Amino acid sequence: MDPSVNYFYTSCTRSDGWPAISRFHADLEYRLRAQEGLWVSGALGPQMGSGQRFDRALAEVGVMIALGSPQYFQSQYCGREWAVFKTRISRHRVRTQKDASACLIPILWEPVPPHALPPRTADGQESPAETQWEGGFGGNGLHQLMQSDSREAEDAYFALLERLSRQIAEARRIHLSMIDVEELSRVRPAFGTLPLTRQTTSARTPVYTGSYTEPNGGYDSRVPSAPVSIAISYVGADQPWADWMAEVLEQDGHPSVNQVRWETERESLTETVDRAHREAERVIALFSRTYFTAGETEPLDWERAFVGADKEWLIPVQIDMEPRPLLVRRGVPVTQLKGSDQNEAERLCELVRDPNPRIPGQREGDAR
């Protein structure tokens, strides 16, 4: 099998929260690899750019996930992706006399008012308003489900990933008819008012407020420390989160923010964290499932890298609900981010500027 083949295409818009979208895409890709094999990959719409690579993905990928939202239905790019797949499904029905509607999997990402759903298109194709959207999330959309820190929400999210991975695998066996580049160029967006341009950055205006109170009393209102140089230790799958953190902290006035990717094939966990510290005064460790499973680590490696009285420069931040390695779980204060909105941006800024951070290995309530 061609190891570069894409099993699915995620149609979305960056303005709906790029770190969360990329996390969902990576989680689904990870689940599919566990189910189907390591050769599985997925194409994430906004990362495809435009041109031949984008057109080829739209023309050939067998399954599309559409993440619907008010912003999604305003985007002509998303409208074109939708129209291409609807066209391919119609062509497949004509050529084979078989239904291929399972190749388009619509998921409600954010709540959409009925009036915001586009009507039936001029060529008679089924509109998003006539489509059954996956929305069993209390009506609040998948994005809010991912932001929740409840155990029930976490279970529902992973159950969804398992169900989607099975749907994608089954739909891919349909072998959806492809269309050629000439035909692709004639397909017009099914909806959207915003022009056919890719959004390369999401609009954010994080503001540092100078005070933040954790429910458990971890922070209080006090004078923040001055801006410092920051390094972000992360793995490649979490690149969008590292980009978002860098943008937030640069706008908050920190003199330098370096992204230090863990080169798992060349360095150990301790070496990558030390390398990040050599580049900056404080280091954000971007914890996630992919960070915990990257590289070849032993249990004591996590203690050496993150626990100790000399680690006050470390700022561990986690972006998902993955259980942490035991020694990290016992001894390291970790801040859980629930998304990439304004409130979470402020939390991140305040965490970095905290003048009295807890020392990794220090118990809750201990004095420094």
The full set of domains in the chain, from first to last, is 6-186 (3.40.50), 230-353 (3.40.50.10140)
Q: How far is CA 21 from the centre of its chain?
A: 4
Contact by Cβ (8 Å): 43, 10 = yes
CA 166 vs CA 29, 95, 159, 349: distances in Å: 12, 26, 11, 40
Reported as half-sphere exposure (CB side, CA atoms, 13 A), residue 94 has a value of 7
- Say whether pLDDT at 241 is over 70: yes
Q: What percent of the chain has pLDDT over 70?
A: 79
pLDDT digits (tens, 9 = 90+) for 199-238: 443 333 333 333 333 334 333 344 456 778 999 999 888 8
What is the predicted pLDDT for the residue at 265?
A: 82
Whether the pTM exceeds 0.85: the reply is no
pLDDT digits (tens, 9 = 90+) for 98-109: 999 999 999 999
